[in-house]
Structure 1
Amino acid sequence: MEHIQSSIEKILNRPDVAASVRAIHERVLSHPGVIMFLRTHPEIDQRTIERGMLKLNEYAEQMHGNQIIEKKAVIEGYQPVLHLEKGQIMVAYEKTQALRDLENERALEKKFKSLFLPDEVRDANFSDFDLTTTDRKLALRAASQFLNATRSKQQTKGLYLHGSFGVGKTYLLAAIGNALKKERVATILVHAPGFVSEAKRRIRTDSFDSFLESFQTVPVLLIDDIGAESISPWVRDELFGIILQYRMMHRLPTLFSSNLSYDELELHFGITNDQGDKLKAMRLMERIRTTTNPIEFLGENRRRY
């Protein structure tokens, strides 16, 4: 061991090596981050600095000012932080701002799931919502009131946006969903026909219960184009009925868009002229009527070219 130590000392004492070591020390000690660290710890003496030079160099090698040099990062997405531990200079690693931003974005995406919807409405926002007619202004006001109530954690009814094809119902529903995402409110926006098709597929698997529960329990549920799905007693009673009953009991708001009015949707849910079907349709519609405020969209189809 003494022989090895003696050899190391001889190497370090060579003029060229000594000059190289001094240059490294000078570079490290002139690094802004190292200077700031030493200034905030005036109790650190020269001996501690010398003992901690490897740690100081580890920090200085990876940092340009306060920013990590990505290609020199020891751990991707993490940057070194100098700290004093039991009188010794140490390096810890914390997430970079870029990694935190990415994780926050992913967390937001998880809070807003949009299923079976066209790409053109995924980035919908209120600033692009057309306000050329009175009914659209009223719709936007209702949406804003809903968001304000949700933001302040007040109990509030959902919305039932109805009107003819292409008047902007889906766009406004998606804009509400995106606004809720920014408020970090977990939300699911689903297109009713696609949702029904997926539910029918899931019923044959072990994942159906968790699939159903996710729609029952999400803080805000937005159902687009209800009434356009293929209806059956199972869809009405065991899918929509169970979800909406749970949400009504737990006061969780549900928002809808539809080409049908309340009365027309009730006829859709009636399926047949059988009195039993009519009664079940009335029960389901009662859940929707009592938990939403109707907003009618008028005007021409804006999807026409």
Structure 2
Amino acid sequence: MESLGELLKSFPSGNNALQQAERLMEELLRDPLVERLQSKHPELDRGTIRVNLNRVYQYVTEYRNCSNCPGLDNCPNDFQGHYTLLSCDVAGDLVQLTDRKVACKKLLARQSEDQIRGRIRSFYVDERALSQGYSADEIVSNDLERMKAVGQVLNYIERTKEQGLQREGLYLAGLFGTGKTFLMCYLLHELAKEGFTGAIVYMPEFVEDLKSLMFEPAKLKETVDLMKETDLLIFDDIGAENLNPWVRDHVMGAILNYRMNRKPTFYTSNYDMDALEQHFSFTNKDGDELHKGQRIMDRIRPYVDIVHVTGHNKRGKKRP
């Protein structure tokens, strides 16, 4: 933003410059913003304004910029996302005009959103799914066939807001593309506003990466500890991963064993509970291990409410 000094330098020299400066001051004095300032502080006389002309000029200019805001990223003010606020103090016979920078509403909203997103960790899930921020009304109207499922998720969110962290999570089961992942991202985002931390894990890619983490014990422990301790944990597309006994028994088992009766765990899947148990009961290495599949399911089945997500496949479709 051009300062008053730069503006005055652009004026021609000599008496004409003084006339231009005087004209600028008269324009500032007639500005409604300055008139309101003088009305609020009758002690603010012309002499004080003249001495603080640069502050008054910046105050008025930044206010105009904010009134015609081009967006936070294109903020023309000296300090992005801030505007100048003036205050008047009297010390004896001395009138002092002071300025300070104040964050605008758009900056405060962005900072709040950044704090919310900072509470959520994403493992291999498209970040756009976490940041779309649809309204509850839009989620309901987007596909009326899944209204019952949406209602269950919204009720869970409200219950957690009122009562605190729940013991049980949700198990969203349904066909491809019906919005299960998005509903869980919406839940994470809404509860992050309340201060809860969360993580969402896309299981097929996570399981593949876990195999390499076997040789990085410190990083593996850090990842597992995060999933144990986060308030809300979502295993996205569970059942689609290429399972092995180590992942099932030593990683998944450890995480779920720690979280049960402590913190809620959520799941999205194309499988119902029985099909998921069959999935956990078979690995390419050891074949059928029914008891191990049952043991994992004993850490899932009692700690979730099942939500059947019906509706149309929305993948590849543009939002209206």
Structure 1 gaps of 5+ residues are 1-13
Structure 2 gaps of 5+ residues are 1-13
Which of 230, 241, 252 is the matching residue for 1:229? 241
TM-aligned CA distance change 1:270 to 1:52, over 3 Å = same
In the alignment, which residue of structure 2 is the partner of 1:144? 154
C-alpha displacement of 1:210: 2.9
Per-residue CA deviations over 1:200-244 (Å, capped at 9, x if unaligned) read 344444433332233222222222211111212221122212222
Asked if the contact 1:32/1:65 (under 8 Å) is kept, the reply is no
Report whether the alignment pairs 1:160 with 2:160. Answer: no
TM-aligned CA distance change 1:18 to 1:274, over 3 Å = closer
Q: How many residues align?
A: 285
For residues 98-247 of structure 1, the aligned pairs below 5 Å read: 98-117=106-125, 123=132, 126-132=139-145, 136-154=146-164, 155-163=166-174, 165-166=175-176, 168=178, 171-183=179-191, 184=193, 185-205=196-216, 206-247=218-259
Asked if the contact 2:197/2:232 (under 8 Å) is kept, the reply is yes
TM-aligned CA distance change 1:179 to 1:198, over 3 Å = same
C-alpha displacement of 1:271: 3.2
Provide the secondary structure at the position in 2 that maps to 1:229.
Answer: coil
TM-aligned CA distance change 1:301 to 1:42, over 3 Å = closer
TM-aligned CA distance change 1:264 to 1:89, over 3 Å = same
Provide the secondary structure at the position in 1 that maps to 2:85.
Answer: strand
Tell which structure's C-alpha radius of gyration is larger. Answer: 1
What is the aligned-residue identity percentage? Answer: 25
In the alignment, which residue of structure 1 is the partner of 2:272? 261
TM-aligned CA distance change 1:49 to 1:121, over 3 Å = closer
C-alpha displacement of 1:25: 1.2
Q: TM-score, length-normalised on structure 1?
A: 0.77
C-alpha displacement of 1:82: 1.0
**How far apart in 1 are the matches of 2:227 and 2:104?**
35
Provide the secondary structure at the position in 1 that maps to 2:171.
Answer: strand
Provide the secondary structure at the position in 1 that maps to 2:106.
Answer: helix
Asked if the contact 2:143/2:311 (under 8 Å) is kept, the reply is no
Report whether the alignment pairs 1:81 with 2:89. Answer: no
TM-aligned CA distance change 1:24 to 1:121, over 3 Å = closer
